[in-house]
Amino acid sequence: MAEIKLTRVDYRLVHGQVVTQWVKICGADRIIIVNDELADDEFMTDIYRMSAPAGVSVEVKTVDQACEEYKANAFGGGKLLVLFKRVEDALAAVRGGVELADVQIGGLGGGAGTTTAFGIAFRPSDVDAMKALDQEGVHVHVHVVPAQQDVELPDLINKLGF
């Protein structure tokens, strides 16, 4: 059975902060990216695999594949960093049977219809999905970089006014 060391939602997926900080802090030797679109894009999957630090493998799965693999063998072995591009994907995985105790929000992208708090742009749908994860018993919090303070979901909701 794999040990999930960190579950993070970050639209950038494998990038500088993940590679240089979060992988080291959590001691992961495997990264599982869960995203339907990326799972169908061999070129970008290869880019993410090449972006990982030495000794850390990267696997890309659809939400359904992740749920099936989790139910079959709890993601195999190793120490995992599980990455989601969107909060909705994390919620779908939990509802599909993936047991996540904790989900860290690290970056959701910007654009129209977002409100920024604690260095992250949030859409109302992001907050709705975070609330739903919380109702599923998952601890949800914002933590962009290790040096920054961790922000709990109620504090985020209060700040955003959603």
DSSP string, 46-114: HHHHHHSPTT-EEEEE-HHHHHHHHHHHTT-SSEEEEEESSHHHHHHHHHTT---SEEEEEE----TT-
- Cα distances (Å, whole numbers) of residue 77 to 5, 18, 73, 98: 12, 21, 9, 15
Using N-to-C axis directions, what is the helix angle for 124-135 and 87-95, rounded to 10°?
30
Let me know if 15 is a catalytic residue. yes
Residues 6+ apart with CB under 8 A from 39: 45, 60, 61, 62, 65
CB neighbours (10 Å) of residue 142? 25
Active site residues: 15
